[in-house]
Amino acid sequence: MIYRILLSLVISLFIIRLLWISRSQGWNFNWWINTIHQEFSQLLKNLILTQHKDQFSRNLRYFFLTVTLFTFILLAITGTLPVIAFNKHITGILLIIHVTAAPVFVVALALTALFWANFKQFDDSDLKLIKKVKNGNKDQRPAYHLQTYWLKILFWMFLAFSIPASLSMIFSMFPYFGTDGQNVMLTIHQYSTLILLIIIFFYTDFKLMVLGKTGK
Amino acid sequence: MIGDVSDGSRTIPIHLIKLIDQDSSVIWQDETPLMPFSTKKTCGACHNYDMISTGWHFNAGDSSVASGRPGQPWIYADPFSATQIPISLRKWPGTYRPDKIGLNTFNFMATFGRHMPGGGIGEKEAYQSVDMYWRWQVSGELEINCLSCHDAERAHDQSLHALQILRENFRWAATASSGFASVQGTAKGLPDTYDIYAGSSPDTPQKIPPQVTYQSERFNNKGEIFFDITRHVPDNRCYFCHSTKTIDPLRQERWEYDEDVHLKAGLKCVDCHRHGLDHKMVRGYEKQSDTLSTNSSQSLTCEGCHLGLKEDDMIPQSGRLGAPEPLHSGIPPIHFEKLSCTTCHSGNWPMDETVSIKTSMAHALGLPKVNKSDQALPHIISPVFAVGSDGKVAPHNLLWPAFWGEISENDVVPLKREVFLPIAQKLIGYIDSLSTGNWPQLEDSNIVQVLDSIKVSGLVSGDPVYISGGQIYALSTDSTLMKKDHEKAKPYIWPIAHDVRPALQSLGVRGCDDCHTTDSNFYFGKVSVKTPLQMVRVEKESMTDYLDQNPIAAWIFSFSFLFRPGLKYIILFSSLLTLAILLLYGFRGLAKIISVVSENGHTQDERR
């Protein structure tokens, strides 16, 4: 019950936030569809047509990230819909989609981690940023740096919480845990994915704020 | 009542009592005519008979009683007219009231009372039709036969009770079964004017009226008899009405079957199926507490004993009667939301195709000269995994209704026996030289012939139809046979809970593959379609039809289990890779922090 309330609350807040940003930026439904379509098409096009090794690697990196996000959205929809709407576990076609998307997500996430970890590691500039913020020192682009810093945090948090989210379900598929253990595993899965959902919402929010300011 | 108030002692009182007849007179051996004893008077002297008669086994005719979860119906079966129709006095969807097929309460009792412990419509005038008044006077009331359940006497013979019912000796049924009396004669052929006190009419000397003889040595010098009465009803008493025989070509010997695992563990049927003085039986399903005045029934379900009830129970409830708490290792919780316990643990293990079964109530098992043929009607099949009235999947028994009816404004009602029996038996009845008890194999033309004859008989107002094998058959305008689906042609199913198999024989014991494969019998087993019509006999239905599952979705889901073992390890590897990256960079970050912390605030000397 608590999980259902929290889940509903998180999703409701996110929808409100999305609507608020869309309204303030003047983004309508068509804009969303076009933007998503363009981004995805461009990504695929770059991936297929790229000749240069470095650029290919860059596109591959973004491809894995996109697949991870896409499958996560799919998992989130199929996983949360029956809980919110009917207070029931997922079954039927939603379960089929969920269990099909899950391995793709986990593999894509591992590859995303592999390709992105080096770019998302904290370095001296982050340390300087913290010092500046701490000392009240204003840089020319502090907000942008701060966002990058936060995105790094979200990235590592996402990786960290994806571990219990996926392992809890994998372990429950082996005959090691009884009914109580299974329920504990399910609870771990539910709450860790809830945190993943919150992380994704923050990530989206940061990205949209950048998009609103820069237009790209 | 003196016998109904417990003083707390757990010993069973000795029942050394005088026999009392229906007129409240004590029965003495030397009196004439010698009367059968009345349980209502004999047992009712110390026990509240009226309250007992409200119990589950006696209250089917009472329309004010909640029908509860659908159970096994009575089945009117006649091979010579290719009929098997579920009937019940309870309001179970899919069953018909006996009067719909022309069975009044007297005929209903005379037909099915063989496997009833009496009471209910057998003794209450309110349920008895006026036109059968004199027959009731001749046969007497069919009182509750307390001995049917509570008699621990080894000589007790419930089949003699059943025999008296078939002979319409209702008044004598309990006495005949008691083990200390014998009953000769039959009320069936006696004229309506027969009087038990006046005896037989000199005009009909060939008719032998029911007569009772008591074993004189059983009476003591006070005219009392010892009844070996027990509160802990022996399983053998329950088995008389609640036995099931599986017809499996691979297992034909009785010793190849085990009984319910609970009985083998030393429990009795009544250890779970309990009741109080009102005899409102705990049927054992999860939501029966909705229809019972006490919540205690909830703890006497599978879940109640093995898992306990709610966590906030004041007293721990699980492990009742020594019930072990199952581990259910590796079984995702969704299974407990969607499936009843019986799905995995009860009934026959699902095979490629459902098997036929015979039950005491449907096939009159346990009676002398009963047809022992495996083909005998009615045809009941099992196990069919279907979504039950509680929304959970459970194993069910299934009966395909087959009967002659009439359709009017798309509503089908069965024809009364007096309408269809003479016509159908004459046209399609066959000589059952092998005594199979099976129905004949029919062609379209046979059905057309019977339907046509019923139509021209003028006995029906609507169009005559025949229902069988899930289809309704009617005459088209050019007198050919047409068939279509109809709600009334759907099979009647009722959930089963026994026999419970041992844990090591439950579904899922070998892993997910017991159910989640593309050819698993749980999802894709074939449900036999039982019908006398030759052309549809080969048809089979899929179990998914009863599971409320899209067969394609079920197949895709099952197919995914082909890759699941491999995917499990891929996911595990991927997760471990992610974890490794996380740890690697985590440690690097930690190293950086240590480096920064150790650089700050340290003098050159300290560094050295």
Q: What is the reported pLDDT for A61?
A: 83
Whether the pLDDT of residue B546 is over 80: the answer is yes
pTM of the model: 0.86
Q: What is the reported pLDDT for B601?
A: 59
Contact B558, B518 (CB under 8 A): yes
Give tens-digit pLDDT for B8-59. Answer: 888 888 999 999 999 999 999 888 889 999 999 999 999 999 999 999 999 9
Concatenate the DSSP letters of all residues of B506-569 into one string.
Answer: STTTT-GGGTSSTT-HHHHPEEE---SBGGGTT-EEEGGGTTT--HHHHHHHHHHHHHHHHHHH
Contact B297, B287 (CB under 8 A): no
B550 CB neighbours in chain A (<8 A) are 92-93
SS3 category, B227: strand
Interface of A with B in 122-161 (CB under 8 A): 122, 127, 156, 159-160
How far is the alpha carbon of B137 from chain A, nearest alpha carbon, in Å?
A: 59
- Average pLDDT on B321-326 reads 87
Whether the pLDDT of residue A216 is over 80: the answer is no
How far is the alpha carbon of A75 from chain B, nearest alpha carbon, in Å?
A: 15
Q: Which of these, B228, B244, B270, lies nearest to B57 by C-alpha position?
A: B270
Cβ–Cβ of B330/A166 closer than 8 Å? Answer: no
B589 CB neighbours in chain A (<8 A) are 121-122
B571 CB neighbours in chain A (<8 A) are 102-103, 106-107, 166, 170
Interface of A with B in 69-108 (CB under 8 A): 88-93, 95-96, 99-100, 102-103, 106-107
Distance, CA of B407 to CA of B509 (rounded, Å): 48
Please report, rounded to a whole number, the percentage of residues in chain B having pLDDT higher than 90: 56
Q: Kindly give, in sequence order, each residue whose CB lies less than 8 Å from that of residue B118, ignoring residues fewer than 6 positions away.
A: B39, B58, B142, B143, B144, B145, B148, B170, B173, B174
Q: To the nearest 10°, the Cα dihedral for A125, A131, A132, A135?
A: 180
**Measured between alpha carbons, how far is residue B205 from residues B185, B199, B209, B552 in Å?**
12, 11, 10, 71
Give tens-digit pLDDT for B91-119. Answer: 999 999 999 999 999 999 999 999 999 99
The pLDDT confidence band at residue A149, using thresholds 50, 70 and 90, is confident
Q: Closest partner residue to A106 among B553, B571, B581, by Cβ?
A: B571
Q: Is the minimum CB–CB distance between B315 and chain A shorter than 8 Å?
A: no
Q: Closest partner residue to B333 among A113, A122, A186, by Cβ?
A: A186
Q: Which of these, B247, B150, B142, lies nearest to B187 by C-alpha position?
A: B142
Give tens-digit pLDDT for B469-511. Answer: 999 999 988 888 898 889 999 999 999 999 999 999 999 999 8
Buried b (16+ CB within 10 A) or exposed e, A95-117: bbbbbbbbbbbbbbbbbbbbbbb
Distance, CA of B289 to CA of B270 (rounded, Å): 17
Give tens-digit pLDDT for A153-177. Answer: 899 999 999 999 999 999 988 888 8
The pLDDT confidence band at residue B572, using thresholds 50, 70 and 90, is very high
Q: What is the reported pLDDT for B549?
A: 85
Give tens-digit pLDDT for B240-268. Answer: 999 999 998 888 888 888 899 999 999 99
The pLDDT confidence band at residue B556, using thresholds 50, 70 and 90, is confident
SS3 category, B607: helix
The pLDDT confidence band at residue A188, using thresholds 50, 70 and 90, is very high
Q: Closest partner residue to A92 among B553, B578, B581, by Cβ?
A: B553
> Which long-range contacts does A113-117 make (Cβ < 8 Å, 24+ apart)?
A113/A159, A113/B577, A113/B578, A113/B581, A113/B582, A114/B577, A114/B581, A115/A57, A115/A60, A115/A61, A115/A64, A115/A65, A116/A61, A116/A64, A116/A65, A116/A155, A117/B581, A117/B584, A117/B585
- What is the ipTM metric for this complex? 0.88
Contact B101, B416 (CB under 8 A): yes
Distance, CA of A164 to CA of A190 (rounded, Å): 10
Residue B398: enclosing H or E segment and its boundaries?
strand B393-399
B584 CB neighbours in chain A (<8 A) are 117
Q: Which two tokens stand for residue B572?
A: 């595990």
Candidates A159, A182, A190, partner chain B, best to mutate (most B CBs within 10 A): A182
The pLDDT confidence band at residue A30, using thresholds 50, 70 and 90, is confident
> Which long-range contacts does B510-516 make (Cβ < 8 Å, 24+ apart)?
B511/A175, B511/B330, B512/B561, B512/B564, B513/B561, B516/B557, B516/B558, B516/B561
Whether the pLDDT of residue B413 is over 90: the answer is yes
Whether the pLDDT of residue A59 is over 70: the answer is yes
Higher pLDDT, B235 or B1: B235
Cβ–Cβ of A175/B330 closer than 8 Å? Answer: yes
* Least confidently predicted of A133-142, B127-136, B274-283: A133-142
Distance, CA of B228 to CA of B146 (rounded, Å): 12
Q: Which amino acid is at B515?
A: C
A93 CB neighbours in chain B (<8 A) are 550, 553
A89 CB neighbours in chain B (<8 A) are 333-334, 337
**Measured between alpha carbons, how far is residue A60 from residues A38, A69, A139 in Å?**
17, 14, 33
Q: Kindly give, in sequence order, each residue whose CB lies less than 8 Å from that of residue B15, ignoring residues fewer than 6 positions away.
A: B226, B227, B228, B229
Higher pLDDT, B416 or B541: B416
A5-9, A86-90, B193-197, B372-376: which is most confident: B372-376
Q: What is the DSSP letter of B324?
A: P
Whether the pLDDT of residue A141 is over 60: the answer is no
Percent composition of chain A: helix, strand, coil (DSSP 3-state, to 5): 85, 0, 15
Distance, CA of B185 to CA of B167 (rounded, Å): 8
- Average pLDDT on B512-530 reads 91
Task: Give how far the C-alpha of residue B40 lies from the chain's centroid of Cα atoms, to the nearest Å.
Answer: 27
Give tens-digit pLDDT for B573-598. Answer: 999 999 999 999 999 888 888 887 77
- Inter-axis angle of helices A92-120 and B551-599, to 10 degrees? 20
Q: What is the DSSP letter of B83?
A: E
Cβ–Cβ of A91/B574 closer than 8 Å? Answer: no
How far is the alpha carbon of B272 from chain A, nearest alpha carbon, in Å?
A: 24
Please report, rounded to a whole number, the percentage of residues in chain B having pLDDT higher than 70: 94
Contact B89, B121 (CB under 8 A): yes
The pLDDT confidence band at residue A140, using thresholds 50, 70 and 90, is low
Cβ–Cβ of B330/A186 closer than 8 Å? Answer: no
Q: What is the reported pLDDT for B454?
A: 92
Residue B182: enclosing H or E segment and its boundaries?
strand B181-184
A109 CB neighbours in chain B (<8 A) are 574, 578
Q: What is the reported pLDDT for B584?
A: 94
Q: What is the reported pLDDT for B171?
A: 94
The pLDDT confidence band at residue B289, using thresholds 50, 70 and 90, is low
How far is the alpha carbon of B301 from chain A, nearest alpha carbon, in Å?
A: 18
Give tens-digit pLDDT for B419-457. Answer: 999 999 888 888 777 788 999 888 888 999 999 999 898
Interface of A with B in 171-190 (CB under 8 A): 172-179, 181-183, 186
List the end-to-end C-alpha distance of chain A, in Å, as a whole number: 40
Q: What is the reported pLDDT for B540?
A: 74
Distance, CA of B395 to CA of B302 (rounded, Å): 15
Candidates B516, B571, B588, B600, partner chain A, best to mutate (most A CBs within 10 A): B571
